Chains A and B, each alone.
Chain A
Amino acid sequence: MKFEIAIDGRPIEIDKTQLENAIEVEPGVFSVLIDGRSFEIRLPAGGPETNAIADGRRFSVEVRDPRDATGSSRSAPAGGRQKVAAPMPGKVIRILVKQGDAVEAGQGLAVVEAMKMQNEMKAPRPARVIEVRVRDGDTVAAGETLVVLE
C-alpha cells in the first residue's frame, strides 16, 4: 500500500510501513520523527484549503491516487482578461475607474475597507477596464470580482 502525496506540487511516495514514524498527538497535529529529527506538522481540519503548517511555513498538500493520472483540472483564465478581486470580505468605499478607462500598472481601481483598513486595489499591469462589477458602498465577499481588465 502506497500513498502518493503532493507537497506544493512536489510528488512524494509514502509506503504504509513508514507511517509508524508519524503519530497524531492531538486532533490534526502530527509528531513525525525522521532519522531522529523531530517535526511537528499541523493539518487543521475544517479549513477552506488543503494546507499543512510546519516549521512556520504553509504547504499545500494533496493526496493523489496513483491510478488517477490526470493532473490538476483547474483551467487557466482566458488569455488577456484579468479579474481584480477583493482579497477579503469588506466594503467598497470608492470606485476609482469606469468602464472603458485605460489604466496604468499600479493605478488605483477601487478602495475597499475591511478591519478598519482602507486598501486600494491596484491594476497589476497596463490595461483597459472592460467591466466594473461593484458600486460604492457595496459589501463584497472574499474573492468577489470588483473590476475586470483586458
Chain B
Amino acid sequence: MFRKVLIANRGEIAVRLVRALRDMGIASVAVFSDADRGALHVRLADEAEHIGPAPSAESYLNIPRLLEAARKHGAQAIHPGYGFLSENAEFASACDAAGLVFIGPSAETIRRLGSKTAARILAKQVHVPVVPGSEKPATDLEHARTLARELGYPVLLKAAAGGGGKGMRQVNKESELEASIRDASSEAERAFHNAEVYIEKVIERPRHIEIQIAGDRFGHLLHLGERECSVQRRHQKIIEECPSPLVFLNPEMRQEMGEAALRIARAAGYYNLGTVEFLADQYGNFYFLEVNTRLQVEHPVTELVTGLDLVQLQIRIAAGEALPFSQEDVRWSGWAMECRICAEDPENQFFPSPGKILQLREPAGPGIRLDSGVSPGWNIPLEYDPLLAKLVAWAPGRDIAIRRLDRALAEYAIAGPVTNLAFFREILRDPEFERGALHTGFIADLMTRRKAPEAPSLQLDLAVALATAAAAARNRDGETPLEKPQASNWLIEGRGHLLR
C-alpha cells in the first residue's frame, strides 16, 4: 500500500480524499493555488504545496508543477479527484512516466472513452443503444448545419472532452446554431483545453441515470448500481439519489443497465472506478451518453446504500489489490439522496455568488453525512466551481430520506454568500418531486409553476425585529455579551441613526 498520496484537486473533494487517506493510514499531500492557501483541504492535509496563481490553468491544471510537488514530498501516487485533470490522458501518462501511480483507469482507457464520439462508437459496437447524433466533432459550421437539420431541432451541443455541463448548449433553431457553437467551443476550450463539440438529438423529458462500475487489474469488473441525477440546472446535477425512483419501479433496469455498462467497460479495458451515464425515457428505454473515467461528485449516495467506501476502493485497486468482493456480494439497502450546496442565487438564474462565509452551522444527526470544503471565515474564490458542500441523507425509504434531508437543510446555516439551501427545501416539498416524477427539465418546469413564497409569519417578523433591536442595543451600550462585535455596516448605520 502507498505511504503518501498527493491530491491534485481542491474544495470538498480534496477534503473527502484527505479523509479516505487518513482512514487508511496514508499520509496526504494537498496542493493549493494563491486563492486557496487558507482552504480547508490545505488545513486538514498532512502536507501541502503551493502550485501557482489562482487561475486553474496555471495551478490545478499545471501538470509539471503537480509532478514536481509529488516528487518534492515523496508521494507515490496521485489522486486527481473530479474535474481538473481527472479525465486527462496526458496527465495519467505523465504520472506513469514520472514513476507515480495515477489513481484511475489507464491513460489508454481514458483516451478511448474520453472522446464522447469515440465512446459512442464503442458503445454501438457492443450493442448498447446510443442517442442519435454526430460521430465526429462539428467544428465546420456547414457540416453542423446539415447534421442538425437531419436530426431535427432541438439539438444539443456537447463538448467532446467535457462533463459537468460545460460547453453544453441546447439549440432550438438554426439561427441560434452559429453563436451557440462559438460559445460552446470557447467554454469547452477554457474548461478542457479542447474546443471540439458534437451534436446530439434532444430526447424529450429524459431522466439521467448512471451506473457506478468498479474493476481491478485482474479483469474483475462489477457494477454498484445506479444513481438518478435528473434534477439539474444549467445541465449540472444538483440532486442525486440511489435507487433511481424509475429503477425502483422497474427493478430489471438495474441489471440491464449494469450489464450494458460492463460491456462498454470490458471493451475499453477498464479498471479502477468509473461511471457510465445513460439517458432514460419515461418508459424505461435507456441510451448510452458517456463514460466518466473518474470518481463522481455524487459518489456518496452509492456509498451510503452499498456500505462501501468508493475512494478507499479506488486507492486499493490502484495499489494493485484485487476487488475484495464479487457482484453477488453487492447489496443495496435503503435510500440515499444528495443536495449540492452551492454559492449561487436560484432567484437570479443560479448566478454564482462568491464571497466570505461569515457564519456557518453544519447539520448533523441520524442519517446525515456532510462532505464540505468550506469553513467559517472562508472567502469563496470566484475562480472555481461554486460547489461548497454535499449534504447527503440516508433512510430506509425515499419519503423518510426526503424528510431527513429537509430537516438537515433547516439546521444548515450559511451567512454571507447567497446559497441554494432554501431552494432545496422548496424542491423537496414539491409534489412532483415527492412522487419521483423526475426529468432533466425538472428545475426549468418548477421555476414556471412555483408560487411566490408566503409572507413570513408575524411571529417571525417580530423575532427578527427583536434580534435587530437587541443587536442595536448591544452595540449602542457597548455591551459585548460574548466578544467584541466586528464592525458592521448595518450596525454602524443603526448606531448613526440612534445618535443623531
Q: Which residues of A contact B (CB under 8 A)?
A: 3, 5, 7, 10, 12, 14, 16, 18-19, 21-24, 26-30, 32, 34-35, 37, 39-59, 61-65, 67-68, 87-90, 93-94, 108, 111, 113-119
Contacts and interface: CB of A to CB of B under 8 A. Distances in A.
Nearest to B380: A115
A47 B491 CA distance: 10
A75 B241 CA distance: 48
Contacts of B463: 22, 32, 34, 39, 41, 54
Given A3-B473, A45-B487, A115 B187 contact: no
A35 B456 CA distance: 16
Interface of B: 166, 179, 182-183, 186-187, 190-191, 234, 345, 348-349, 351-354, 356, 358-359, 382-386, 409-410, 413, 415-416, 418, 421-422, 425, 453, 456, 459-474, 481-483, 485-491, 493-494, 497-498, 500
A10 B461 contact: yes
B490 A30 contact: no
A10 B382 CA distance: 35
Contacts of A111: 183
Contact of A88 (B356, B382, B500): B382
Contacts of A7: 461, 464-465, 468
A89 B354 contact: yes
Given A44-B358, A63-B497, A65-B497, A50 B464 contact: no
Contacts of B183: 93-94, 111, 118
B186 A115 contact: no
Given A7-B461, A22-B470, A57-B456, A115 B352 contact: yes
Nearest to B356: A46
Given A27-B483, A52-B468, A63 B493 contact: yes
A57 B422 contact: yes
- B345, B464, B470 interface centre (most CB from chain A within 10 Å): B464
Given A12-B465, A46-B487, A58-B418, 17 more contacts: A5-B468, A14-B465, A24-B481, A28-B359, A47-B358, A49-B490, A53-B415, A54-B464, A59-B464, A89-B382, A90-B382, A108-B179, A113-B190, A114-B351, A115-B386, A116-B166, A116-B384
10 contacts: A14-B468, A19-B470, A27-B483, A41-B463, A54-B463, A63-B490, A89-B354, A114-B382, A115-B382, A117-B234
